[in-house]
Amino acid sequence: MSEQLRNDIQKQLGKRPFSAVQFRYAGAKGVVSVDPRLGSGHHLCIRDSMNKFKSEHRCFEVCKISAPRSLYLNRQAILLLSHRRISDAVFLILQQRNHLTLIRALLRNNDARNLLDEKLPYWFLPYGAKTDFVREPFFRQLLIAACLISIGELLRRTRIRVPRNKARNMFGIIDEYNVLKPNEVYIQYTRLNDHEEKEINNKGEKASILHNCEVVITKNPCHHPGDIRTFTAVNYEALKHLKDVVVFSQQGDCPASHQISGSDLDGDEYAVIWHQDLVPLQTPNAIPYNYDSQKAPPELDRPVKRDDINDVVLHIAESDYLGRLSNLHLAYADHYGVDSNERPKEAVFSTIELAGVISQEVDSGKTGQHPVDDNKIMEQKKALGDARPDFMENVNMKSYPSKKILGKLYRSSRRMLRGWNQLLRRHRHLRHLKVRTPVDDEIDDEEEQEQEANADDSQKNIIALDSSLLNTNPSPQAQEISAIASQLFYVYRQEMLEILNLYGLSHESDLWCRKSTNTTGGELEDTAYTQLEQLVVRTRDAFFLRLVSFCPNNRDTCNANTAFENLCPECQEMHNAVAAALYRECYSGQNGSERAPILSLPWLFTTALLQTRQRDLPSTQGLLSVAMAAAINDLVTHHLLQLGGLTVTLHTSNHRQVEASVHWTVCVFVEILHYCLKSKSFTSWPMILGRFICKTAPVQECNAIDEWSLVFDSAEQDDLYAATLISMEWTENDDELMHSYFIQLLEICFDLGQSMTDDNNEYLRMSEEIILLLQRVAIDETPWPKNWT
C-alpha cells in the first residue's frame, strides 16, 4: 500500500497513522502494509493468494488497522510460559499489580481517568476534563462496573494485563525487504503513558525500537508447547516506517509465523512480550506442531450454490467443539502436564495430542473436518474421572485445589473477591455485577440478606448534587431552559432504556463499559454499542439544534460543528445553563431516586457543564489521607502506637543499631500497617519495614550488606508523639506521599518475592495483605478489618 492511500484512509477514518490494515477489496482479503517505495499516488498490491473469488466490488473495506493495543495474558499462554520455567511468583506479582491498579482507580483521579479511558469510547470525555471521578456518582458507577468486570475476568479467565510498554497485541506481517534473518523479528512500538489519549493524532508521540532484545511471541489459541516461541528483535533501517506491528522474517526453512499456532498472516494478531520476567530464556523453543498435516477441504465438481453455503454454516454451528476441547485441555494439562504424551487409557488423547486436535477443530470451518464427535469427547471426560481443578469452577464435578500456577492465581484472586463485592453494598442497582464462586455463594447470600435487612430505605438511592455544577445565575430564559432539558432527558432516557432492554443489560454502566455482564455471551454485541453511539450523536445534534435559535450573533459561527470554546459568550452561557439543567434533571427528582437512574446525559456535554468549574475546581482531601487520618486517631485513642517517636531505631542480626529521623507521614503509615499485619506473624515484616525506612529516610549506615530491621517500642505510648500525629494538617502532597509509601513497600515485597522458588512465599503473602488493606480503604474508607479492636 502506498503512503498516500494510507493517508487518505487514515483521514477518512479519523484515526492515527497506521502501518498495516486488514482489508476486503473485490474478492480479495488479507493484510497489507505501507511501503514508501511505491511512491506517490494510490497503489495497492495484492498477492494471488489473497484473491478468494472474482468480484466487481471496488470499495476498499477496512476491517482493522494496526494500533497500540494492550496485551492480556490468558490461561493457555500462562500454562505455556509456566512450562517454559517462568516462575509462579512472576504471574502472582503481575496479578497483584492488576488488583492494585483497579484499587488505585477508586482512590486517585489520575488512575480513575486511565481506567475510564480504557473502557469508555474516546469521543465521550474531552481531554483534561476537571472532574472528581472517584466521587462523582455516574463515574463512580462506571469505575465499579469496570473493576468488577476486570475481577470476573481475572478469576474465571485469568486475564492478566501486562504493562503496556512491555508487551502488546500486534498485527503480524512479513518482511517485504528480506533483511531479517531466521529467528529475527522487527518491533517498533508507540510508547504510551498514563495521561495519553487513545484516539489522538500522533503529534509528540514517541516510538521505541527493540534492538538485540529477546522477545516471546504467541497467538491465540495456543495449546501446543511449540505455539509459544522466543525471537531476537533487531533494528533495520529499511523497516523504520513500520510501527505497532511485528515483522517476521521470510528466510529459513519454515515461516516463523506458521510455527505459532499455524498462522498465515492474513490478519492474525500476536501476543508480543519483551517484559524481561516473562521471556523464557532457560528453555529452547519446542518442536512446533505440524500444521500442514491437516486434510484439505472437500472440493465440488460444480459451482457453489446457496444451499451449499447454508449446509456448511449449519454444520459448523451444530458441531462446534472448540470450547469443550479447550476446557478438557486445561484439565489434562493440570493433571498430566502441558507436554505429556501419557494417555489415560487406550483410544484417549494425551495432552499433547489434544492440543493438535484443538488446532484441527479451529480450522474445521475451513476444512469441513471435525477431529472428534460427542462420543469421543465423552470418552475424554470419563478418562479424567469425576474431579476437576478448582480454577475451572465445575459445579458438576468434585473440585481439588490445583497445585499448578492457574490454581494459585485463582485462589489469590478469590481471596480478594469478597472485598471487591463489598463495593456493591452502596450501589444496589449494580448487584448484577457481583462475581460469584461456587464456594462462596452461600456465605455471600447470607451477608447480602443481612445488609438488605440493615439498610436504611430512606438512604438507598439518594444522590447528592454537586453545587459547583448547578447554574445559579438568574436567566430570562429559565423556563425555556427547563423545558428543553426535560424534553431532551425524556427522549434520551426512553431510548437508553430501549437499548438496555433489547440487549438484556441491567444498567447503563454495562453499555458504556462495552460489556454484557447479564448474558452468557460475555462480550457486548457490536450493534448495541453502535446504537449507543448513534443515540449520543442524535442527542448532541438535538441539543445544538434547540439552542442555535438563541444565538444573538452570526449563526454561521455558532452551529453544531463549532467547538464550545469558539462559541460566542452568549451561546456559551446558554449551553452551560442547559447542561446544568440536564444535570439537575438526571440527578434529582424521580430519576435520581430510581433503582437504576440514567445519569450519563449531562456528561455528553462535559465542556459546557464544567464551564463554571474550570476556574474553580472544588478542593477535596484525598480518600486515602482521609482514611489514614481517621485510622491514626483510632490508634491514638486506644493507646496502640508502637513507635517511640519521629526518631526510629533499626538494628541488624549482629546487634548493630542506628537511629533515623523520619517524616510524620512515615510514622502514620508504619503504625497503621504494622497494627494491621502484626497478627499475621510474618517473620520478615520487621526487615521489610527496615528496608522501607532506609528508602524513605537518609540513613547513612544502611547498605546492601547489612539487613536492617525496624525496632518497635513496647513501652507506654508517648503523649507528645501521639499529639504530633493527630494534630498535623493533611495536604494534597501528604496524600500523594501515602500512595508512594504503599508502592515502595509493595515493590520491596515484589523484589524479594520474585527470588523465592518455594510455594510458601511469605513476601507475596505479605504484599497480598497490604493490597487487601488498601482495598478496604478504597471500598470501606478504613484500613481496619471488621471487628479490628
Alpha-carbon gap, residue 212 to 770, rounded angstroms: 38
The domains of the chain are located at: 3-65, 307-385, 467-609, 623-780
Q: Helices (H) and strands (E) in the chain — how many of each?
A: 25, 17
pLDDT score for 67: 94
Alpha-carbon gap, residue 185 to 178, rounded angstroms: 11
Cβ proximity of 370 and 363 under 8 Å: no
SS (H, E, C) 54-79: CCCCCCCEEEEECCCECCEECHHHHH
pLDDT score for 590: 64
DSSP classification of residue 226:
G
**Residue that is written with C-alpha cell 462506571 in the block:** 142
pLDDT score for 202: 42
Three-class SS of residue 728? coil
pLDDT score for 700: 63
Within 8 A by CB and 6+ apart from 563, the residues are: none
Alpha-carbon gap, residue 704 to 708, rounded angstroms: 10
Cβ proximity of 604 and 539 under 8 Å: yes
Amino acid in position 617: L
Give the pLDDT means over successive 10-residue stretches in the chain (789 positions).
94 90 93 94 92 88 94 97 96 98 95 89 77 92 94 95 96 95 97 54 71 96 95 97 96 88 86 97 92 70 84 76 93 96 91 92 80 91 94 94 97 94 85 84 58 51 79 82 94 95 90 62 66 94 89 76 84 91 87 76 92 62 93 95 91 84 96 92 93 84 71 84 94 95 97 85 96 96 86
pLDDT tens track for 458-508: 445 568 888 888 877 777 888 899 999 999 999 999 999 999 999 888 899
DSSP per position, 99-133: HHHHHHHTT-HHHHHHHHHHHS-TTTS-TT----T
How close are the terminal C-alpha atoms of the chain, in Å? 69
Is the peptide bond prior to 221 cis by the omega test (within 30 degrees of 0)?
Answer: yes
DSSP classification of residue 425:
G
Within 8 A by CB and 6+ apart from 128, the residues are: none
pLDDT score for 579: 94
CA–CA–CA angle 516, 520, 525 (5° rounding): 40
Three-class SS of residue 599? coil
Nearest in space to 632 (alpha carbons), one of 666, 679, 680, 681? 666
Angle between helices 322-336 and 405-421 (to 10 degrees): 110
pLDDT tens track for 360-394: 888 887 777 788 888 999 999 999 999 999 999 99
pLDDT score for 453: 55
Nearest in space to 238 (alpha carbons), one of 300, 186, 279, 311? 186
* pTM exceeding 0.75: yes
pLDDT score for 638: 93
Three-class SS of residue 705? coil
DSSP classification of residue 506:
S
Say if strands 245-248 and 28-33 run parallel, antiparallel, or are unpaired. Answer: unpaired
pLDDT score for 520: 42
pLDDT score for 317: 73
Three-class SS of residue 436? coil
Looking at the chain, how many residues does it have? 789
